Chains A and B, each alone.
Chain A
Amino acid sequence: MRNSILGSILLCGSGLAFAEDVPIEGMVESKCVVTSDTSGVYGNPNPYTLDTAPAQGGVHPIVRYDVIVADYYKALIEYPDAFSSSPGLDDTLTWDGVVSVNEHTDVGMADYDTEKVTYNNVTEVTLDHAGSTWFRVESDVEYGVEKSFPAGIYTSIVTAECIAL
């Protein structure tokens, strides 16, 4: 009788030792997707200017924002204020640029141009409509005071982010 009670206690003790952690996993996919639609090209209308305007021989870069749910994200786009790679430059660069709505899938997105907030080289737009918006980034830069750019390859970067509100 004593042996049987002792055996029961041991079994209970061993049962308490089996604990199990049950994981819960979830995956969150962004409801805002940024895609590079068109790569930009600098035109060189004169020796001291690089410009993405088609009239100046360039191509404006275009970035597309696909928003599945409205009012939860904002677009943050920076036009370049420095070259990521270039020949050696020993004079100042004067950068300028504009970010604007090029195309959109919802009529209400036409208001993004009037609603956008700009500071420095940054443009912020609250994405309050679901759908796709193509933003056009215009960029131009002048070297010194009408000083000729050295020959070579010039590369700059447009930064486009989708930030959750």
Chain B
Amino acid sequence: MALALVPYCSYSLSDQIFGQTPNVAGDALAWSMSYLPAQAGLTISDVIYKYTAVKDPESDMLVHVQNKDLSGNGYIFRETDDWSGHPGNTIRKLVPVPDIPIQRWGAGSIAVEGQGSIEDPIVIYNWKYDTCFDPQSDPNCPGYKYPIPEDLINVLDYIKDPLEDALIQQELDRETPAETEEDEEERKLFQEKLEHLDKVERLLGGINASLVSAGAELTHERLLALNTLPVVYYKVLEGGSYSDALQYPKQTISDNQKGLRVGLAQELLHQQMVESQYSN
């Protein structure tokens, strides 16, 4: 009862972990997504990029910062800067994306269309993940289910449902044939035969019983004639009844005066011995 009053306390380790990649475009204008940590439930929330466009202000130039979509054709992320008619300069952007799972992010690249080039590119991905995305990763995660021990699993493997046995199922599935008129007549004849046999048995039973009694008496007489049986086998014990003869007379028992005197004398002697220890 006391235990029932103890409040149940638990805590969860579920937490959002945030981070960002290094500059994935530092070596080349195309890159893989291996810079991201191999973490279940990881999503990308922002793409940050920066580059300097080098071009003639009059020329046309498109710059695409993009990632292929692994779940199909096309791109999961594509941001285009149209520099056509503009002088070159350094652009810096932070593009939010709606927490797209890492499974969809393919290889990334910066592609240039038209006349011009880019310098000093920087591309960074902001990522995050939930430490309890897989509840089984930690017993403190909400929704964690304690695994069943392997030995228990093996025991369960040996338990079989009898109804799944093929032979039993075959018997259960077998249909009972309907009783025909011929079967009904056979059953009645069989019942009549049984009743007839019963009467014969009763008649023979009485005759056999009388024959057995006569044989037993003859054997008994022969055994007595041989005088080999102990006497106790056929000695008749005399019966009768024994009445209760115990009676206590009603009288008064007097006190034992002699014992009293002895007791008092011993007490007196004991007192004298005790006092003799303090007399000196």
Contact = CB atoms under 8 A, between A and B. Distances in A.
A108 interface: yes
Contacts, number: 38
A105 interface: yes
B83 A110 contact: yes
Contacts of A110: 53, 83, 86-89, 91
A114 interface: yes
Interface string A118-146: 00000000000000101000000000000
A113 interface: yes
A102 interface: yes
Contacts of B91: 103-107, 110
B278 to A, nearest CB: 111
Contact of A105 (B53, B82, B87, B93): B93
Nearest to A106: B91
A63 interface: no
A103 B88 CA distance: 11
A101 interface: yes
A90 interface: no
Contacts of A108: 86
B23 interface: no
- Say what secondary structure dominates the interface of chain B: strand
A91 interface: no
Contacts of B81: 107
B87 A114 contact: yes
B93 A101 contact: no
B50 A103 contact: yes
Nearest to B89: A110
Nearest to B88: A110
A104 B87 contact: no
Contacts of A102: 90
Given A103-B50, A103-B92, A105-B92, A113 B87 contact: yes
Interface of A: 101-111, 113-114, 132, 134
